[in-house]
Amino acid sequence: MKDIKLVATDMDGTLLNSKGELSEAFYPVLETLKTRGVHFAAASGRQYFNLVKRFEAVKDDVIFVAENGSYVVYQDQEWYLQALESNIAGELIKIARNIPNAYAIYCGKKKAYVESTEPKFWEQFTKYFERYELVEDLLEVTDDPCLKVSICDLGGSAANSYPHFKAWETSIQVKVSGGIWLDMSHRLANKGQALNVIQQRFGISPEQTMAFGDYLNDLEMLQQSYYSYAMENAHVEIKKTARFRTKSNDENGVMEIVQQWLKEPAENKD
């Protein structure tokens, strides 16, 4: 593991604890990674602007993989954008409108768009989106490329909304990305593809990559990394996919592995 050049991690359920907090060790570890020439990527279903706000103090040291890999930005430079076809986005939104307790979000490059301010939905929505707009009709949004259509499903995404979109899996990405979240994006838009874009930019191989994840939207990212870690709190399919295991997000599992690795070179100089 001495030749690691890229560390990539999911956010919710992985790098962040259950309260949505970063470990106190994060910023010193990030600084050490930087001094050793190791790149760091935050890979999330969250909106780009939400991620930037979270890492505002160190934003130039973080590669942002936003919207489940649909959008990659580094030092204010757009590296990758894979938009969902507008006609498909429209069909998905129409289906979502007929699912009880489910709320569609048009995740654009400029901002996110919603049709409802139902309190329970709004509480969840505003956790992950920093720039947004309430509109009368999502189908009328035509001047902002759709990075993904998200469903906030207060009835449970796996059982309530996923079955309505399962048939779409042959043509687009359909990901249960959390207990109440379902994300749908272009078939080439996932965290693994985004990681490959970063690896190509820097000349980094999967064998030089360490990645951490907990849910199904992390699957391709873990497959794109040799040093792939499933959190102890991860979905069973993620545990099957990852080569290694670490402690839960509430036990600072990501930081523990990275810190252990950072100590190794000093311990083995002789």
Q: Residues 109-128: pLDDT tens digits? A: 999 999 999 999 999 999 99
Which one, of 265, 270, 221, lies nearest residue 38 by Cα?
A: 265
d(CA 268, CA 136): 62
Please check the confidence at residue 265 and state whether its pLDDT lies above 90: no
- Report pLDDT for 270: 38
- Report pLDDT for 185: 96
Where in the chain are the domains? 6-81+189-267, 86-186
Which one, of 33, 38, 62, lies nearest residue 50 by Cα?
A: 62
d(CA 243, CA 144): 39
Could you say which of 3.40.640.10, 3.30.1240.10, 3.40.50.300, 3.40.50.1100 is the CATH number of the domain covering 86-186? Answer: 3.30.1240.10
pLDDT category of residue 138 using cuts at 50, 70 and 90: very high
Please check the confidence at residue 97 and state whether its pLDDT lies above 90: yes
Q: Give the architecture (CATH level 2) of 6-81+189-267.
A: 3-Layer(aba) Sandwich (3.40)
d(CA 270, CA 35): 21
Please check the confidence at residue 266 and state whether its pLDDT lies above 60: no
Tokens of 113: 């768009």
Please check the confidence at residue 267 and state whether its pLDDT lies above 60: no
Which one, of 104, 13, 69, 36, lies nearest residue 197 by Cα?
A: 69
For residues 140-153, average pLDDT: 96
The Cβ-side half-sphere exposure at 180, using a 13 Å CA radius, reads 17
d(CA 232, CA 229): 9
- Report pLDDT for 102: 97
Please check the confidence at residue 146 and state whether its pLDDT lies above 70: yes
For residues 94-119, average pLDDT: 97
Please check the confidence at residue 202 and state whether its pLDDT lies above 90: yes
Share of residues in the chain with pLDDT > 70 (%):
97
pLDDT category of residue 2 using cuts at 50, 70 and 90: confident
Please state, rounded to an integer, the average pLDDT across all residues of the chain.
Answer: 95
